[in-house]
Structure 1
């Protein structure tokens, strides 16, 4: 069994409408699914991705109205990366972020790649990374109806950074249980801190990396709007997911058991530093219940919630997501 890379990252927003405007109008991603949190249908769950929502391209958000500020710290998913095709695309994005008054840190080097760090309107910490020298997991294809020219568009999820107080427990789960390989390191952003360790799975590269930052000087993160809820890793199919369940259970890691999310099947567990991991299958995908040309335009519900549609939609503030 081998994980194929990053499947999706799920984060928190306090306002679904403003979130939709930022990630589609400014970042140019496609909303491929407008649905609800299946565990709490009173809140939106929005999925942004490439043209058809390929696995490895999904950045998702739960809307928690009234969510307070995030107080960044340890035991957290501290940065999410988004891939772009090359260094030239990063220069485009530097100018675009300036155009929309999005504060950023300028283009820098990160693990032998060019990168551009910024925060969204709620403080979500994001890094755009260049795929110019990437030879690993294949990127997605940006939507040709995006607000961003396709050649500069976001092609998927890049490395996810974890911040933890102790490397070894997380390293053991990544390597000994999930099969990641240690592939290098790069200097920490804070003086006096250990190098950031890089782990990869599958074909490796930007779409299959976890970066682990060790900080002994931080308190535990207090999550809110702008924080990340969990990261999911790609599994080929349901049978392999079932095998992973058996393996993780034998390691005595408490887990959710197999969960049918309709668009994929999942398994959830926390590693010892408290970070929530999910394993998710590549299929069946977001076109299961919507035409691919109209993804994300209406509220989509899995069959087991369909009978509650009227009640669910009454509790949601309408968002016009029909794209011209």
Structure 2
């Protein structure tokens, strides 16, 4: 293929209770809720977007939270770990911070020259904080909960679990990623020049059972396209290559196409445009429930189905801190 992604756009996972989910990602990890909307295919549930102050592509972890959702199972055919980027000097702070809040973490481990700390969110989603030795120039969300000097900079990488690597590696190469390292049964690919926000690690283990996508697992991984024209051209190339890819879908804040890599993980190509300020000001991101035009006639019934969310006042900087 002639088009190459510049890196990760977002990761979307499934959660249980939406308030518990919001409490963890806003109050424990210190991210910002940049959009509160609904699953366009199932408007009876939220779609919550967490990221940096403006929700830049490459900083976003999003959730479909269903209260009472069955527990998923990590395994092959899934993205099994989602990693965030933090400053190299902050790993010790995060270990202490998470421990103080009752979150069990691993010991700090070094791999590929990067220190990493792993843990689970309240639904069992596998997360990692990774410190890249060359640093990460992206600005954190300064919310008054996590000190800015330790704040999460954005996504670092995702790990895909597969039974066999060859076909998956071929598709990742077709998306413009380059194989950069191997550590046993783990292969690293990077978009562009590499660095935090560009990596995908492919872990090969044919003995691991197939994963089950439900609460505590990743639904899909999205890669960046700069605009709709590039995305449309990319879709054409995927179709020519025999990939079963969806039509272009309007997600309000980006346009999306979806397809599966040969190992089973659902992938998306999402546009950088138009972004999260398309329907509300920067300072008010995430405060109100936003619906696409085709769901606005049903707003009253949709709002009646959704539980109210208690957000920290720091999510909107013009409010007085609680």
Paired with 1:17 and 1:61, the residues of 2 have a C-alpha distance of 12
Choose which of 272, 278, 290 in structure 2 pairs with 1:282.
272
Partner SS, residue 272 of structure 2:
strand
Deviation string for 1:138-177 (max 9, x for gaps)? 65322222410011001100110000001011111111x2
Residue 158 of structure 1 corresponds to 156
1:182-221 alignment runs, 5 A limit? 182-187=179-184, 194=185, 196-221=186-211
Paired with 2:178 and 2:19, the residues of 1 have a C-alpha distance of 39
Distance change (3 Å), C-alpha of 1:130 and 1:170: same
Deviation at 1:251, TM superposition (A): 1.0
Determine if the alignment matches structure 1 residue 223 to structure 2 residue 225. no
Residue 108 of structure 2 corresponds to 107
Distance change (3 Å), C-alpha of 1:298 and 1:154: same
Determine if the alignment matches structure 1 residue 123 to structure 2 residue 113. no
Paired with 2:62 and 2:284, the residues of 1 have a C-alpha distance of 18
1:17-166 alignment runs, 5 A limit? 17-86=19-88, 88-134=89-135, 139-166=137-164
Paired with 2:131 and 2:232, the residues of 1 have a C-alpha distance of 35
Deviation at 1:52, TM superposition (A): 0.9
Determine if the alignment matches structure 1 residue 253 to structure 2 residue 254. no
Distance change (3 Å), C-alpha of 1:146 and 1:303: farther
Determine if the alignment matches structure 1 residue 169 to structure 2 residue 167. yes
TM-score relative to the length of structure 1: 0.93
RMSD of aligned residue pairs (Cα, Å): 1.2
Paired with 1:268 and 1:291, the residues of 2 have a C-alpha distance of 29
Partner SS, residue 106 of structure 2:
strand
TM-score relative to the length of structure 2: 0.94
Choose which of 171, 174, 180 in structure 1 pairs with 2:177.
180
Deviation string for 1:44-95 (max 9, x for gaps)? 0000001111110000000123222222221111100011122x11111010
Runs of 5+ in structure 1 lacking a partner? 188-193
Deviation at 1:120, TM superposition (A): 1.1
Paired with 1:170 and 1:46, the residues of 2 have a C-alpha distance of 29
Paired with 2:228 and 2:137, the residues of 1 have a C-alpha distance of 23
Runs of 5+ in structure 2 lacking a partner? 314-320
Residue 258 of structure 2 corresponds to 268
Paired with 2:237 and 2:23, the residues of 1 have a C-alpha distance of 41
Contact 1:97/1:104 (<8 A) preserved: yes
Residue 15 of structure 2 corresponds to 13
Paired with 1:59 and 1:267, the residues of 2 have a C-alpha distance of 18
Paired with 2:8 and 2:297, the residues of 1 have a C-alpha distance of 33
How many residues align? The count is 312
Paired with 1:83 and 1:55, the residues of 2 have a C-alpha distance of 14
Paired with 1:111 and 1:249, the residues of 2 have a C-alpha distance of 35
Deviation at 1:203, TM superposition (A): 2.9
Residue 317 of structure 2 corresponds to none
Residue 232 of structure 1 corresponds to 222
